[in-house]
Structure 1
Amino acid sequence: MFATSCRTRLSHSLNLVRRLQSTLVVAEHNNEKLTPVTLNAITAASKMGGDLVCLVAGTQCAKVAEEASKIKGVKKILLADNEAFKGFLPENLTPLILESQKQFNFTHIVSGATAFGKSLLPRVAAKLDVSPISDIIDVKSADTFVRTIYAGNAIQTLKSKDKIKVVTVRGTAFDPAEPSGGNGATEKAPDVAADSGLSEFVGQELTKSDRPELTSASVVISGGRGLKNGENFQMLYDLADKMGAAVGASRAAVDAGFVPNDMQVGQTGKIVAPELYIAVGISGAIQHLAGMKDSKVIVAINKDPEAPIFQVADYGLVADLFKAVPEMTEALK
């Protein structure tokens, strides 16, 4: 009888804690549709307990709020539609997040570990005087998280004592949330002085490609310094078009000016985990491995049999890439 009573009180206490907890997921989008990493962040947030609320801030982004409201598990959408949020400047978004946290008492603030999340949430954490928890790959409990350190060579489990947890999520570590089946209510986000005056969005130049987006592609072909120049990347584009793949690059190739930096895969670039990753002319520096070693199958093509990339590759081809890649492309005709 006593044991049953204790279990009942414990269950009641846990349910009370869950009700007191609430998580704000800051949606990443382009004012027309959600970026896929937002669905991964929502999955991670759902493991932190409590109600799930999604903040959609932008310009003429009602369509995004409607999309977010259908995500399974999301209870509420906060919509902030203002010209001041054009360009998603962290200086303007931060006051909105702080006011939302103040009004709704969120215990967790979450976003994807992308350029957007990495520029925004550390600023939010600083204003809240808490330590940001970056690039998590697992959630143990509402206050305990798992992340990689030392360029992915070690796994750290940390327990945060901060009252508010500010967390960025590695998208490749979590399955995407179900985009349908939800029925979240949409309401207007708190009013704030949207334009901080600290920065101004002037414009942007976006590269357009018919190939899949790098972080969501099931097949990725990346080139390194071994390609010698940017013109030789055309070999990878031709092969990628045959395979329906995205094309990436090592930091060495980006720093050498072969390709733009939005193609960089690695610790300071994009983190990918496709079904198939083909590394062409990439030696396998730690910085690059940190961004792709979670890929399901890794294939390496390098003329140096001692290249570190072969230590993580499932299949390795010691060959001249200038012969091997065209032969692969020809074979796929």
Structure 2
Amino acid sequence: MSVIIFVELDNGSIKKSSLEAIYYGSKVAESTQTTATVLAIGSAEESALKEAGKFGAQKVLHANDGKLSHENSLAYANVLAQAVEQEGSKIIIMAKSGLGDAVAARVAAKLKAGIVSGVTELPDTSSGFTVTRAIYTGKAFASVELNSDTKVLVVRKNAVEAVATEASASVEVFAPTLQDSDFAATVKNVEKASSELSLTDADIIVSGGRGMKGPDHWDPLLELADALGAATGCSKPVSDLDWRPHHEHIGQTGIKVAPNLYIACGISGAIQHLAGVNGSKCIVVINKDPEAPFFKAADYGIVGDVFDVLPRLTKAVEAAK
């Protein structure tokens, strides 16, 4: 029997958020005296999959059927269910994402499992199985006791600090039975909009609001992001005004992020935006208004005009390299 962790791949490598899920799963396996097995679906080199061992996995099951080359939550859930049956797993773990949530819901329904999404801490197994999850857009936390035989946990980014070792996992080919009904709708082609860093996987994000004063004034922000190797984001009003592309919109109705460092430039801090960034480890706010609500949520605050502060920060970052 083992804990099984479903991971997402990006260009043949395991996504950072999934590496955190593997580490989380390995700790759950330790507490329940089982082992940690990873399921990877899609094209990947064996050497990349062995990296799962550094985060506590003993084994990787690799399903690389050509039909599974594009994300398909229905097919992936059925593949995961077959892996669960083969391994005799009672605990299923994955990182929180659009795909993760969809696969988790489908596999939980298929296996009649209890499911908790947005998990923020390791479970308490001292008496039963209790997990903590974020509620009310991260403003509060709920303790949930899972009594079902099979359990599905969708882990929020930064729930644990993943620590790598020099270990390596074994990799086994997994050949699931695929059904035509799994592919009622198929993806023919995927074209990425750009080579920009993914907001959901970025360690550092530099984000701008209406304080940037228009679509033609973003160079200072972009230069800082480039110096830091960061992704760029924006508030909802900025995307609504078409100052920045809509895929950069961060907030309750946009993308929810959890980077190690989030730098907010000229963003007042509406509750809807805060709901999208409250998983960040460190928040730095730059705003000329000392009463901006965002300062209350900040770890560090700089009161000043973004057009004065950003070039200085960029210069300091470049000097420190």
TM beyond 0.5: yes
Shift of 1:284: 1.2
SS in 2 for 1:279: strand
SS in 1 for 2:103: helix
Which of these residues, 16, 41, 57, is aligned with residue 57 of structure 1? 41
SS in 2 for 1:166: strand
Contact 1:57 1:80 in 2 (8 A): yes
Identity %: 33
Structure label with greater radius of gyration: 1
1:25-68: CA deviation from partner (whole Å, max 9, x where unpaired): 1111025111111110011112322221111111x334366434
**Which residue pairs with 1:299 in the alignment?**
284
Contact 2:60 2:169 in 1 (8 A): no
1:67-101: CA deviation from partner (whole Å, max 9, x where unpaired): 34543531222111112112211122121112222
Please list, as runs of the form range in 1=range in 2, the aligned pairs for 1:62-81 lying within 5 A after superposition: 62-63=45-46, 66-68=49-51, 70-81=53-64
Structure 1 residue runs of 4+, over 6 Å off? none
Contact 1:93 1:194 in 2 (8 A): no
Q: Aligned AA for 2:294?
A: I
Q: Aligned AA for 1:174?
A: V
Which of these residues, 115, 124, 132, is aligned with residue 141 of structure 1? 124
Query: How many corresponding residue pairs?
Result: 310
Contact 1:23 1:51 in 2 (8 A): yes
**Which residue pairs with 1:230 in the alignment?**
215
Q: Aligned AA for 1:205?
A: E
Shift of 1:151: 1.1
Instruction: Output the CA distance in 2 between the equivalents of 1:99 and 1:332.
Output: 49
**Which residue pairs with 1:176 in the alignment?**
162
Sort the Cα spacing of 1:242 and 1:190 in 2 relative to 1 into closer, same or farther, 3 A. closer
Instruction: Output the CA distance in 2 between the equivalents of 1:172 and 1:74.
Output: 18
* TM-score (ref. length: structure 2): 0.84
Q: Aligned AA for 2:18?
A: T
Sort the Cα spacing of 1:195 and 1:229 in 2 relative to 1 into closer, same or farther, 3 A. farther
Contact 2:135 2:142 in 1 (8 A): yes
Sort the Cα spacing of 1:227 and 1:92 in 2 relative to 1 into closer, same or farther, 3 A. same
Sort the Cα spacing of 1:313 and 1:197 in 2 relative to 1 into closer, same or farther, 3 A. closer
Sort the Cα spacing of 1:77 and 1:331 in 2 relative to 1 into closer, same or farther, 3 A. closer
Q: How much is the aligned-residue C-alpha RMSD, in angstroms?
A: 2.7
* TM-score (ref. length: structure 1): 0.81
Shift of 1:296: 4.5
Which of these residues, 3, 28, 51, is aligned with residue 8 of structure 2? 28
Structure 1, unaligned stretches of length 5 or more?
A: 1-19
